[in-house]
Amino acid sequence: MSKIVLTFNAGSSSLKFAAFGADNGRLNHLAAGQVEGIGANPKGSVKRATGETTEFAFDRAAGKLDHHAATRVILHWLEQVGYASGIIAVGHRVVHGGPNLTEPMLIDEAALAILRKLIPLAPLHQPHNLAGIEAAIRAFPGKPQVACFDTAFHRSHPFVSDTFALPRAYYDEGVRRYGFHGLSYEYITSTLKKIAPQIVREDVIVAHLGNGASMCAIKNGRSIASTMGFTALDGLPMGTRCGQLDPGVLLYLMAEKKMTAEQISDLLYKESGLKGMSGISQDMRELEASDSPHARDAIDYFVARIRRELAGLAASVEGVEGIVFTGGIGENSSRIRKAVLSGMEWMGIVLDDEANDAGAQMISAKESRTVVFVIPTDEERMIAKHTIEIALDPRKHQ
């Protein structure tokens, strides 16, 4: 039986997973899927590398599904296809590692206690990540479980990229700019080392554009600055999240609209961004296909914020040698890429329109001083890579 590494990415109402063959320490993608509608009306499916897709069956009479039940559904499929007996380790995406967790860690009771203490820093994400971990521990007893943090890649930030202009005591308590999407940026950096090693040694800006969106300035493979801050709300507008916002707006909502913290949280996380501005959808594909002026306004604002952050991040690394687009929008929307880069010749950027329209890996023109890439991200593979390394040699991360 081949060795298999399983990865989990648990959200509030979903559980994504992927399976990788891990013979000889090399990773071979086997399958990926998810269960959605946890706590409501569940549905889910899995697609194998062969292209075969299987819809999951749910016992509607059993009531609402939780993360433990969702894990059992996934485990049942793994047993059916003969993968379950080969699982040697399970890796987990964990949103927040706080100020001190700078690399993946083997999960034990002490580690779980540390992760629970970080819940106040990510109350909408961390509890669900922990629920997924606890479900996996039950489902795969005795197998190494590894936590991989979205914040870890950004712990190399200099102080000025890490702080807010608040009294220093708040910084010391952990109120600081953490940055997120770190697993994606780590994967892109590792890919650049293979396809453009001369670029990754210089200054690179990566735009992870999707339902969640952020950008990161990377110097010699290390994160220097990120558009996301204390939470995953900051920076760029996203599918349903507001992005950068004057904190005075929050004071206004509390004082004048008498909104509670929960109401404000729902507004900023679930009803804003592309969805809120357009009044149509959070899906960029729908907005690009729409003739609504509100859809155009939402797209224009999204692009404007990316352009503004691109220039600011370039200043933080004193220039830029390479730009990478990734994430669902970054990888698939030639329109957004062109809008972001148009008129950026002053930054040494010249777009190759034909390559961009074709979705080529390199979309900058030959005369462009700044090289522009489109690289699909693979956070699951990054999690699996860390997991197999720790499973083979836990002493590296004790």
Q: Catalogue the active-site residues.
A: 150
Q: Give the whole-angstrom CA distance, residue 286 versus residue 296.
A: 11
- In the three-class reduction of DSSP (H, G, I as helix; E, B as strand; rest coil), residue 15 is classed as strand
Q: Give the whole-angstrom CA distance, residue 241 versus residue 120.
A: 19
Q: Give the whole-angstrom CA distance, residue 98 versus residue 20.
A: 28
Sort residue 163 into left (φ over 0), alpha (ψ -120 to 50) or beta: beta
Amino acid at 164: F
Burial class (CB within 10 angstroms; exposed 0-12, middle 13-18, buried 19+) of 376: middle
Q: Give the whole-angstrom CA distance, residue 85 versus residue 90.
A: 13
CA angle at 305 for the pair 299 and 309, rounded to the nearest 5°: 145
Question: For residue 365, what are the contacts with CB-CB under 8 A and spacing of at least 6?
Answer: 350, 351, 352
Residue with tokens 């969702």: 70
Q: Give the whole-angstrom CA distance, residue 104 versus residue 53.
A: 31
Q: What are the angstrom distances between the C-alpha of 304 and each of 236, 300, 308? A: 9, 6, 6
**Phi and psi at residue 52, to the nearest 5°:** -70, 130
Residue among 215, 186, 214, 184 nearest 200 (CA): 186
Q: Give the whole-angstrom CA distance, residue 104 versus residue 5.
A: 15
Amino acid at 345: E
DSSP assignment letter at 165: S
Q: Give the whole-angstrom CA distance, residue 304 versus residue 68.
A: 42
CA torsion sign for 380, 382, 385, 387 is negative
Residue among 225, 231, 259 nearest 245 (CA): 231
